């Protein structure tokens, strides 16, 4: 009797479990087709929002690409301007060096030669002044030599006024040479600046390439997302059929368990043969 009770209890347990499984299968199939439309709408809205985000991102990348292009154009303009300025400074530096050599050497030597000549002329003019004064002192000749400033004095004044000119010319030469040296330094700095700008130009070109790669990636994702959104209904039907088939198979499996449970719960049944009863 104890074995029969245990078998019946086990059968009852199988019946409860199989019934719960069948109920779970029916509930799963029902929920699959009930929540399917709402889930489809939510997923469609999510994909639409994601697509709009991708479009906005792509537009931002396009704006950034335009800014990089403008920056590249500006850098090219700056590079060309720096090249022209460097050529002008180089020519100016050469001109200043030539001017310094002319002023410091040729003109200064010319002034010194002029001073020497004026000093010699002033020495000769002393004799001429004395001669003219002697002639002026001879009666009946009628010479009238009474200059306000004697010739030799004028020549000496002119020579004296040129005294500071060679030093001034030498100072000018030094200033021109310093200016030329400063321009050479400026030209070196401009060359270094040009190299830095060229490096920036290369960096911007690399950045433009990266932006192009990002645009291609975003466009590809955008197309795939839009395709997924268009085929979402088909995918949802396929998933619903798959889940319904799974729950249906699970329910069918539970029917077999239910039958076994009923057999165990009802107990062992004996078939009585009427021929055996008559024989007895």
Rg (CA), the chain: 58
Q: Report pLDDT for 273.
A: 45
Do 51 and 228 touch, CB atoms closer than 8 A? no
Residues 226-236 have pLDDT tens digits of: 888 888 888 88
Residue 233: both structure tokens together: 């209904």
Note the CATH architecture for domain 2-266.
Answer: Orthogonal Bundle (1.10)
Q: pLDDT tens digits for 29-66? A: 888 788 878 887 888 888 888 888 888 888 888 888 88
Which residue matches tokens 């050479």?
Answer: 184
Give the end-to-end CA distance of the chain in Å, rounded to a whole number: 28
Structure confidence at residue 49 (pLDDT): 84
Predicted model pTM: 0.52
SS3 assignment, position 103 = helix
Task: Give CA–CA dist 66/51, Å, rounded.
Answer: 23
Query: CA–CA separation, 128 vs 122, rounded Å?
Result: 10
pLDDT > 90: what percent of the chain? 0
Joined together, the tokens standing for residue 56 give 């906005």
Q: How far apart are CA 26 and CA 36, in angstroms?
A: 15
Q: What is the pLDDT of residues 175-214, one digit of tens each?
A: 777 887 777 787 787 788 777 877 878 888 888 888 888 8
Looking at residue 38, its pLDDT comes to 82
Higher local confidence (pLDDT), 62 or 4: 62
User: What burial class does residue 254 get, using C-beta atoms within 10 Å of its C-beta: 0-12 exposed, 13-18 middle, 19+ buried?
Assistant: buried
Q: Which one, of 183, 163, 170, 164, lies nearest residue 102 by Cα? A: 170
Res. 274 pLDDT band, cuts 50 70 90: very low
Token pair in block for residue 187: 């030209």
CB-based burial, 64-97: b 16+ in 10 Å, e otherwise: ebeebeeebeeeeeebeeeeeebeebeeebeebb
């Amino acid at each position: 009797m104890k074995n029969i009770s245990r078998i019946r209890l086990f059968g009852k347990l199988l019946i409860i479990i199989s019934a719960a499984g069948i109920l779970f299968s029916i509930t799963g199939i029902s929920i699959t087709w009930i929540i399917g439309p709402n889930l489809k709408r939510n997923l469609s809205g999510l994909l639409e929002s994601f697509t709009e985000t991708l479009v906005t991102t792509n537009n931002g990348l396009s704006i950034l690409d335009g800014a990089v292009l403008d920056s590249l154009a500006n850098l090219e303009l700056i590079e060309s301007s720096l090249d022209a300025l460097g050529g002008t400074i180089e020519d100016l530096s050469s001109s200043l060096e030539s001017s310094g050599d002319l002023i410091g050497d040729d003109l200064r030597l010319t002034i010194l030669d002029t001073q020497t000549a004026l000093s010699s002329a002033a020495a000769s003019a002393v004799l001429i002044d004395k001669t003219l004064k002697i002639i002026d002192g001879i009666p009946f000749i009628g010479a009238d030599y009474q200059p306000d400033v004697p010739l030799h004095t004028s020549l000496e004044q002119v020579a004296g006024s040129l005294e500071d000119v060679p030093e001034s010319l030498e100072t000018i030469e030094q200033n021109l040479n310093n200016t030329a040296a400063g321009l050479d330094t400026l030209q070196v700095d401009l060359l270094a600046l040009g190299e830095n700008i060229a490096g920036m130009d290369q960096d911007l070109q690399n950045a433009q390439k990266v932006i192009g790669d990002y645009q291609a990636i975003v466009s590809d994702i955008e197309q795939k997302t839009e395709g997924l959104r268009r085929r979402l209904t088909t995918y949802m039907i396929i998933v619903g059929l798959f889940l319904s088939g799974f729950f249906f198979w699970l329910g069918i499996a539970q029917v077999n368990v239910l039958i076994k449970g009923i057999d165990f719960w009802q107990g062992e049944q004996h078939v009585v043969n009427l021929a055996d009863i008559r024989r007895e």
